[in-house]
A = this chain, B = another copy of it.
Amino acid sequence: MVTRAEVLALDQADQLAGFRDRFVLDDGLIYLDGNSLGALPKHTAARVADVVSREWGRDLITSWNRNDWIGMPTRIGDKIGRLIGAAPGQVVCSDSTSINVFKLAAAALALRPGRRVVVSDRGNFPTDLYMIQGLAELTGGGVELRLVDETEVSAAITEEVACVMLTEVNYRTGWRHDMAAVTAATHAAGAISLWDLAHSAGAFPVALDAVGADLAVGCGYKYLNGGPGAPAFLYVAQRHQDSIRPPLSGWLGHDAPFAFDLGYRPAAGIQRNVCGTPPVLSMAALECGVDILLEADLDAIRAKSVALADLFHTLVEERLPGTFGIVSPRDAARRGSQVCLTHEAGYAIVQALIAARVIPDFRAPNILRFGLTPLYVRFGDVWDAVDRLVTIMETKTWQQPEFQVRAKVT
């Protein structure tokens, strides 16, 4: 049996251990929901306050130039690019993940005229699928969304497929696609790859350029620690940029936005994928989160994530045998950065954990989801979380009535 002392020794040896102090986290709290909302970096508050008081309050409209608000989408985009294996000039920060899915799925279809099928898997985060459904309805049958099981994606990529749209890591189970293999299969069929990196960016190294990815989107508020509802990002490989006519053709994607021409003319390069005026305060917070990640070694983050998940799996098997299903893959190569257990009383157990100062989240119908964010989650946290879970199951704490009431958002 793994002991707490052995686990605390892992924290002693952890080269990333110093990063935890860069975040605002109550020492008594075990926060395992950074895959839903990343923790607050300590320097974010001062930066946001400066943007509010100095850049907005004092410099007012001149900040678009003086404080380079106008450059934020590409500046932050390039920084995110360094986390996802994208050379400069291929990423912008803008809008929400949902909106960016719409932009790039429409772009993918336009890049493959004569094809109308978008392939995705049933494990994809629903909003990605919803956006394609909306696009299909809007274009009056110009798009067909074809859903398959996640292990059958490559087989589904036929010559009629325009776009293969996948979230690399399944939000519920942590199952991870083989991005290189699926992208190769996509290209072999002449289709366009659109990757959603919501549970990838900042969680482990991603190599968009190296695998030859075409398009990608991702989320700012999970592993990038950008704050609630932080703006999202999108990636367009250099070779496609001039061929894309943005379907959401807003003024900040115009070649000369301040010429106020009546006709839309897309900006050169990645800029055309920016649409309206971006939310500066939220973007400034996002940049702080990204900046911390840029100081860390993504390979070290990945190695620690794997070790945290392996430890979690081992402890659950040793101390709670047969109590939970384990749906997160044991094979690290097929896993993102989370551990997922199943239990028919999953919702109530999650509520009991929260009362015990362990914060995972629940995903219907029966999944307890534990996000592992190596910059601030310690090996000792994993030990303590499982320990408290053991207590909750032994004492049946979760059966208390207050843990059965479903909140509006879970």
Contacts and interface: CB of A to CB of B under 8 A. Distances in A.
A323 interface: no
A279 B410 CA distance: 19
Nearest to A109: B138
B24 A37 contact: no
A63 B229 CA distance: 12
Sorting the interface of chain A by its residue count into under 10, 10 to 19, 20 to 34 or 35 or more gives 35 or more
A393 interface: no
A52 B45 contact: yes
Contacts of A127: 250-251, 276
Contact of A139 (B130, B139, B249): B139
Interface in A48-73: 48-49, 52-53, 55-58, 60-65, 69-70
A31 interface: yes
Interface string A357-386: 001010110000000000000000000000
A106 B140 CA distance: 12
Contacts of A285: 52, 281
A126 B145 CA distance: 33
Interface string A249-266: 111001000111111100
Interface in A262-317: 262-264, 275-283, 285
A260 B125 CA distance: 8
Contact of A276 (B60, B232, B259, B409): B232
A230 B48 contact: no
Contacts of A344: none
A278 B229 contact: yes
A252 to B, nearest CB: 8
A95 interface: yes
Given A130-B249, A229-B279, A279-B231, A33 B60 contact: yes
A129 B262 contact: yes
Interface stretch (A10-18, A97-105, A206-214, A395-403): A97-105
A122 interface: yes
A26 interface: yes
A137 B99 CA distance: 17
Contacts of A249: 130-131, 133-134, 137
A332 B56 CA distance: 31
Nearest to A172: B260
A47 to B, nearest CB: 10
A230 B277 CA distance: 8
Contact of A133 (B24, B36, B263): B263
A364 B258 contact: yes
Contact of A279 (B65, B133, B230): B230
Interface stretch (A81-89, A178-186, A240-248): A240-248
Given A36-B61, A134-B246, A280 B282 contact: yes
A354 interface: yes
A221 interface: yes
A52 B61 contact: no
Interface in A19-33: 24, 26, 31, 33
Contact of A99 (B31, B99, B227, B354): B99
Contacts of A33: 60-61
Contact of A247 (B134, B259, B275, B354): B134
21 contacts: A24-B53, A24-B57, A33-B60, A39-B57, A39-B60, A40-B52, A61-B359, A65-B407, A69-B229, A95-B96, A98-B276, A102-B248, A122-B262, A126-B260, A127-B250, A130-B249, A133-B249, A133-B264, A134-B246, A134-B248, A227-B280
